[in-house]
């Protein structure tokens, strides 16, 4: 960083994610990793006078930031009902499905970030292409993390549509990264 650059201010996020006393966990981390990737795509697009792409990336970034919070809320509710014991089966089932749908949305949105980075690779200034490639890889990793969370959810079954869709989103993101070669 150079003089005058604002701080990344990430310490609080890292402290929250690392604290057993705080709810946000891997789903929120995946969403935030995807949001960081989207921010890098927006930066490359802005530097290359690609306003439409920058706007798309910012929307994806905002959606992922919102999903990070929704994931923490869904996880908290599922954990609350799991610890409450019997008598809440229907409510618990709904909470578990919701706790599975949020990481599914995170994975799909991260895949969108990777695809956007892939589509823009040749349109941005050459010195920003490695950033787009890295952003796609980061988004793909986050999509895979989200797909894992969907698959291990207590309400998931191996042939569940949500599991299949989350794995497909992660595979699509990985395909973008593989298209860059060298990764």
CATH number at 23-179 = 1.20.120.680
Tell me the average pLDDT of the chain. 92
pLDDT digits (tens, 9 = 90+) for 46-92: 999 999 999 999 999 999 999 999 999 999 999 899 888 776 788 98
Going from the C-alpha of 56 to that of each of 38, 42, 43, the distances in angstroms are 9, 8, 12
Any idea where the domains of the chain sit in the sequence? 23-179
Put residue 9 in one of left, alpha, beta given phi > 0 → left and psi -120 to 50 → alpha: left
How far does the chain reach from its first CA to its final CA, in angstroms? Answer: 27
Single pTM value for the model: 0.92
Which residues have CB under 8 Å from 91's CB, separation 6+? 81
Q: Is the dihedral of CA 151, 153, 159, 164 positive or negative?
A: negative
* Cα angle value 178/51/4 (rounded, 5°): 90
Q: How confident is the model at residue 99 (pLDDT cuts 50, 70, 90)?
A: very high
pLDDT at 166: 96
Which of 59, 48, 66 lies closest to 112, judged by CA?
59
User: In whole angstroms, how large is the CA radius of gyration of the chain?
Assistant: 18
Return contacts of 178-183, CB within 8 angstroms, 24+ apart: 179/118, 180/118, 180/121, 180/133, 180/136, 183/133, 183/137
């Amino acid at each position: 960083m150079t003089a005058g650059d604002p701080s990344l201010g990430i310490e609080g996020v890292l402290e929250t994610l690392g604290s057993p006393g705080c709810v946000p966990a891997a789903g929120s981390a995946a969403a935030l990793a995807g949001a960081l990737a989207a921010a890098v795509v927006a930066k490359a697009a802005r530097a290359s006078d690609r306003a439409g792409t920058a706007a798309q990336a910012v929307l994806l970034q905002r959606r992922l930031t919102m999903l990070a919070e929704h994931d923490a809320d869904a996880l908290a509710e599922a954990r609350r009902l799991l610890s409450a014991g019997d008598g809440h089966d229907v409510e618990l089932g709904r909470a578990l499905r919701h706790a599975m749908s949020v990481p599914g949305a995170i994975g799909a949105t991260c895949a969108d970030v990777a695809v956007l980075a892939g589509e823009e690779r040749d349109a941005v200034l050459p010195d920003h292409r490695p950033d787009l490639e890295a952003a796609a890889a980061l988004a793909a990793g986050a999509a895979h993390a989200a797909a894992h969370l969907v698959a291990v959810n207590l309400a998931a079954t191996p042939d569940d549509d949500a599991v299949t869709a989350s794995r497909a989103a992660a595979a699509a993101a990985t395909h973008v990264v593989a298209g860059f070669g060298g990764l």
